[in-house]
Every structure is written in C-alpha cells, then in structure tokens.
Amino acid sequence: MSLHPSTPRLAPVPAARSARTGLTFWLAALAAFVTLVLAASPVAAQNGTVTVTPGAATLTNEDRDIVLDLAHAHLAEIESAQLALEKSKNDSVRKFAQRLIDEHQAAQTELQQLAQAKSIKLPEEATLVHKTLSTAMRLLSGETFDHQYVTRMGINDNQRTVELLQKAQAGAKDADIRAHAARMLPVIQEHLGAARQLNGQKLG
C-alpha cells in the first residue's frame, strides 16, 4: 500500500547500525529467556534419598543437583572465558578471562574428585541454554563483545554461581559438598567483584 503523499519519509538507518541494534535486541531477549528458564527449571527429582552405585554413599536429590549445577556453572565460565580470549583484544578483559579459566578449571577438578567419591557422573559440557548464548556472542566483536561478555557472562553467570554456592553452604546435607562450597564461595565472589569493576571501565 502506498503512503499518502503528505506523509514524511523517515531517513534510512545505516545497515551496520541497524544490524548492531537488532543483534543487541536479540541478545537482550535471549538473556531474558535464559533468566526465565533458570528461574523456572524444576529440581530434577523430588526431595528424597538417591541410592547411587552399589556400595556408594547416598545423597539427597537436592545435594546431587547442587553438584551437577556447580559442574555446569564451572563449564559455562570456562567456555565463556575461552571465547573471550578468542574474540577480545582488550588486555583487561583477556586477563580476567584467563583468571576465570585457571580458577574454574581448578574448581572443576576438585568437584570431579568429590563427585567420584559420591559416585556422581558430572556433565562434560555446558548446558544448551548457555551454548545458545555463546553462539550469539560469537557474532559480536570489539567493544560490543567485551561489554556483553563482562555483563552477561562475567556478572550474571558469577552472580548465579554465588547464589548456588550460598545455597549449598547453607542447605546441603552432605558435609563434603558444604566444605567445597565454603572454599569456592570467596573465589567466585572475587570473580563477581572483578567483573563489576571491569563493567565500570571504558572497554573501547
């Protein structure tokens, strides 16, 4: 349908600007979806006692889920940081990412030892939701990537991990899981603080 002759025409938006705006909107929508999924995800099983392999100790389903959630959190942080090393040219962002790789790999190694003692098989890769976000992040570059990495993965992911560790420390029935959470909580809180500090800097 043609416009009325008196209707003013809008100036065209440059293609590059339009693409960046569209991608930023898509990332924001994806982040909202991720938040909803994380908030709505039910516990894998109702509270009770899970008997694992013959002769192994028993864990509550809630404790088992905490271990699995922590493993997914470590894997997500490692994968995100590796992407940051690949994409970012900012020295501060790269230093932050390398720190996360080193310390989350150490945490995952410790968690793997705990899981073996409890006869729990840990996941080998991050969740599909996180992989989807990582795929979207690969489309970004420069200051836009750095900002999105620091806010969505540096701050948001570490905030969720802090909350998970606090839950484990306060509510896990298994003493080894509580001890692991107590050791890791100050480390992840430092990551969160470092991410917030980065977010206050000009990354361009």
Residues of the chain with pLDDT under 50: 1-5, 7-8, 10-11, 13, 15-16, 18-19, 34-56
The answer to whether the predicted template modeling score (pTM) of the entire model surpasses 0.75 is no
State pLDDT tens for residues 113-147.
Answer: 999 999 999 999 999 999 899 999 999 999 999 99
Tokens of 151: 């806010």
CB < 8 Å & 24+ apart, contacts of 107-114 = 107/74, 107/184, 107/187, 108/71, 108/74, 108/75, 108/78, 110/180, 110/183, 111/67, 111/70, 111/71, 111/74, 111/180, 114/67, 114/176, 114/177, 114/180
**Which domains, ranges and CATH numbers included, belong to the chain?**
56-120+127-199 (1.20.1260.10)
Q: What is the pLDDT of residues 147-163, one digit of tens each?
A: 999 999 999 999 999 99
Could you give the residue ranges of the DSSP H alpha helices within the chain?
A: 15-40, 61-87, 91-117, 128-137, 142-148, 156-171, 175-199
